[in-house]
Structure 1
Amino acid sequence: MYIPEIYKNENQQKIAQFIADNGFAILINQTNGKPWATHVPLLQTENEQGEPVLVGHLSKGNPQAKQFKEDELVLAVFSGPHCYISSSWYDHENVPTWNYEAVHVYGKVRVLDDKKGLEILKKLVDKYEKNSENPVRVENLSPRTMMEARGITCFEIAITAIEAVHKMSQNRDAANKKRIIQELEKTNDPQAHLVAQKIKQCPF
């Protein structure tokens, strides 16, 4: 991913938190001779050796899952808040732009056996059920319901590289940043409000 130096995020703790907060990713590989992408929840955790990995699952009916090869290089794209920035908000003439956050994770994929796959399911469900009034627990599901798990392929991605971009008007001076924030906060767009908060968190 092309990232100008000013927008690079190399803080591993912040990157891990970003992935945790924006876990619905796009998983990309080569399938049947062409690029293939699947929208899928992924979780960053550690393998048995304490190394960082991404884990998730796909339907066995998905051609991407059928084409997984051991140690095949894949790309997971995580997207965060983003919105259009009008140059009419500046105190000088310039071009419009887009503010956004994203993380690209590269790694080698391997399919997990049923036992490890069940552990992944538990972790994913526990993460997304933690705020539920009556949280679902995989271990409490009936054998009949768990039969549906036979229809998925669980996988692990050994992370080989991470690229993270945090483009939040760092190239603007304090006065223009404040103007951008004011304009974003005028809108009814939740994304714009999130971006305004992100700009506030950048050093002025």
Structure 2
Amino acid sequence: MYIPNHYKNEDLSEVKDFIKHNSFGILINQVDNKPWATHIPLELDMDENGNDVLISHISKANPQWRSFENKSQVLCIFNGPHSYISSSWYHEEEVPTWNYIAVHVYGTIQILEEEAVLASMHKLVDKYEKDSENPVSIHNLSEKTMKQIKGVVGFQINITDIQATYKLSQGREEDHSQIITELKQRDFNAKAVADKMKNKHN
């Protein structure tokens, strides 16, 4: 994606942490010569060689998986908080803009065997159930329920490139205090952007 240099985040540990906390992403590739996108959790993990990978699965009813075997490159998009920025918050006249965080991950897909798919499902459920009052475990699901695994295709994305944009009013440091104050009076996304700005520039 196009990233002006002052918005580029090359702190890989920070970007990887962002992916882990914003893992519901968009998987994009070509299906029958048309762009195809699926909204799914894409979990950052590590393969047996210590390389970063993304793990996920989709329904076999979704035709997207049939194009995975050609090992063509796919794009995964992860979105963070975003908010409109009014130029009325600036000391000097300027056009309004938008602050946001977005990460693009490129890679090639490898279809997983059923055993690996099941292991990935255990990790996925355990991750998101840990804060539940009555957490569900795949270990406790019946054989009948677990037969549904036959209806999905699990895959691993071998990462080839990670690109991250953190557009947080860089170049307008003199206005940050006012921008943060205004954002904190708005919706959840705006407040999250304010927190990111405060943490990033302190």
TM-score, structure 2 normalization: 0.97
Amino acid at match of 2:193: V
Using the alignment, how far apart are the partners of 1:173 and 1:30 within structure 2?
Answer: 41
Runs of 5+ consecutive residues of structure 1 not aligned to the other structure: none
Matches of 2:179 and 2:198, distance apart in 1: 10
Matches of 2:201 and 2:4 in 1, distance apart? 17
Match of 2:26 in 1: 26
Partner of 2:12: 12
- Kept in 2, the 8 Å contact 1:26–1:39? The answer is yes
Shift of residue 67, structure 1, vs aligned partner? 2.2
Runs of 4+ in 1 over 6 A off after TM superposition: none
- Per-residue CA deviations over 1:68-90 (Å, capped at 9, x if unaligned) read 12422100000000000011111
State the one-letter code of the partner of 2:105: V
Please tell me the residue identity of whatever aligns with 2:195.
Q
Alignment pair present for 1:199 and 2:162: no
For 1:92, give the aligned amino acid: E
Residues of 1 paired with 2:49 and 2:20: CA distance?
Answer: 21
**Mapping 1:51-200, distance limit 5 Å:** 51-174=51-174, 176-187=175-186, 189-200=187-198
Tell me the distance in 2 between the aligned counterparts of 1:122 and 1:70: 28
Q: Deviations over 1:5-30 (max 9, x none)?
A: 11111111101110011000000000
CA offsets 1:131-163 (integer angstroms, 9 cap, x no match)? 111211112211000011111100000000000
Identical counterparts, % of pairs: 51
1:173 positional shift:
2.5
Answer yes or no: is the 8 Å Cα contact 1:102–1:166 preserved in 2.
Answer: yes
Q: Which amino acid aligns with 2:144?
A: R
SS in 2 for 1:186: coil
CA distance in 1, matches of 2:49, 2:81: 33
User: 1:185: Cα distance to partner?
Assistant: 1.4
Please, what TM-score do these two structures have when normalized by structure 1? 0.96
Q: 1:69 aligns to what SS in structure 2?
A: helix
In the aligned structure 1, how far is the partner of 2:145 from the partner of 2:129? Answer: 17
Letter in 2 for 1:186: Q
Partner SS state of residue 147, structure 1? helix
Unaligned ranges ≥5, structure 2? none
Count of matched residue pairs: 202
SS of 2:69's partner is coil
